A and B are shown apart, each in its own frame.
Chain A
Amino acid sequence: MFRPLRLLAFALVLLTAPAWAAIDPAQVLQLGDEDTDVRIEAIRKLTASQEPRAADILYALQNESLGLIEDGKRAVIVASGRMADAVTGADMGPAPPNFDALIINNRLRGEIDAALAALQLASPDVATRLAAARSLQGSENDELLPIVQQALDKETDPDVKVVLELSAASLALKNANPELRARAAAALGKSNDPQVRQVLSTIVARGSDGTYAEADERVRTAAQLSLAEINRRLFTTEIGLSAFTGLSLGSILLLAALGLAITYGLMGIINMAHGEFLMIGAYTTYLTQGVFRHYFPGAFDWYVVAALPAAFLVTALIGMALERGVLRWLYGRPLETLLTTWGVSLLLIQACRSLFGAQNVEVENPAWLSGGIAISGGYVIPFNRIAIIIFALIVLAAVWLMINRTRIGLFVRGVTQNRAMASCTGVPTHRVDMLTFGLGSGVAGLGGVALSQIGNVGPDLGQAYIVDSFMVVVLGGVGQLAGTVIAAFGLGSIAKFLEPLSGAVLAKIMVLVFIILFIQKRPQGLFALKGRSAEA
Chain B
Amino acid sequence: MDRRQFIQAGGAVALGCSSISTAFSQAKTPIRVGVLHSLSGTMAISETALKETALMTIADINAKGGVMGRPLEPVVVDPASNWPLFAEKARQLITQDKVSVVFGCWTSVSRKSVLPVFKELNSLLFYPVQYEGEELEKNVFYTGAAPNQQAIPATEYLMSKEGGGAKRFYLLGTDYVYPRTTNKILRAFLKSKGVAEKDIEEVYTPFGHSDYQTIVANIKKFSSGGKTCVISTINGDSNVPFYKELGNAGLKAKDVPVVAFSVGEEELRGVDTKPLVGHLAAWNYFMSLKNPQNEAFIKMYKDWAVKQKLPNAATAVTNDPMEATFIGIHMWKQAVEKAKSTDVDTVIKAMAGQTFDAPCGFKVKMDEKNHHLHKPVFIGEVRADGQFNVVWKTKGPIRAQPWSPFIPGNDKKPDMPV
Contacts and interface: CB of A to CB of B under 8 A. Distances in A.
Interface of A: 36, 64, 103, 105-107, 109-110, 113, 194-195, 197-198, 201-202, 205, 208-209, 238, 241-242, 245, 248-249, 252, 349-350, 353, 355-362, 364-365, 370-372, 374, 378-380, 382-385, 454-460, 463-464, 495-496, 499-500, 503-505, 508
Given A245-B213, A249-B213, A359-B311, A208 B195 contact: yes
Given A201-B226, A362-B271, A242 B214 contact: yes
Interface in B209-227: 209-211, 213-215, 217-218, 220-221, 223-227
A380 to B, nearest CB: 5
A382 B249 contact: yes
A11 to B, nearest CB: 46
Given A36-B162, A365-B272, A379-B217, A372 B44 contact: no
Contact of A379 (B205, B209, B220): B220
Contacts of A500: 214, 218
Interface in B351-392: 381, 383, 389, 391
23 contacts: A64-B389, A103-B391, A105-B163, A106-B254, A194-B220, A198-B223, A198-B227, A205-B226, A208-B194, A209-B194, A238-B221, A252-B211, A357-B312, A358-B48, A361-B312, A365-B244, A372-B249, A372-B250, A378-B220, A380-B250, A455-B210, A456-B210, A499-B215
B40 interface: yes
Given A36-B162, A353-B44, A456 B270 contact: yes
B270 A194 contact: no
B205 to A, nearest CB: 4
Nearest to A105: B391
B229 to A, nearest CB: 10
Contacts of B389: 64, 103, 105
B208 interface: yes
B155 to A, nearest CB: 15
Contact of A504 (B205, B224, B250): B205
Contacts of B245: 382, 454
B162 A370 contact: no
B345 interface: no
A353 B40 contact: yes
B39 interface: yes
Contact of A496 (B162, B214, B278): B214
A362 to B, nearest CB: 5
B164 A106 contact: yes
Interface residues of B, number: 66
B325 to A, nearest CB: 16
Contact of A198 (B215, B225, B241): B225
The list of the 8 closest CB pairs from A to B, nearest first, reads A357-B311, A360-B270, A382-B248, A358-B44, A208-B194, A110-B254, A197-B224, A245-B213
B253 A106 contact: yes
A356 B44 CA distance: 13
A444 B254 CA distance: 39
Nearest to A459: B44
B240 interface: yes
Given A113-B254, A194-B224, A505 B211 contact: no
A364 B311 contact: no
Nearest to A112: B254
A359 B206 contact: no
Contacts of A238: 217, 221
Given A194-B223, A202-B227, A499-B215, 15 more contacts: A36-B162, A64-B389, A103-B391, A198-B228, A245-B213, A249-B211, A362-B269, A378-B250, A380-B248, A380-B249, A460-B208, A504-B203, A505-B175, A505-B205, A508-B206
B206 A504 contact: yes
A238 B214 CA distance: 11
Contacts of A201: 224-226
A13 B413 CA distance: 73
Contacts of A454: 210, 241, 244-245
Given A353-B40, A455-B240, A456-B240, A505 B310 contact: no
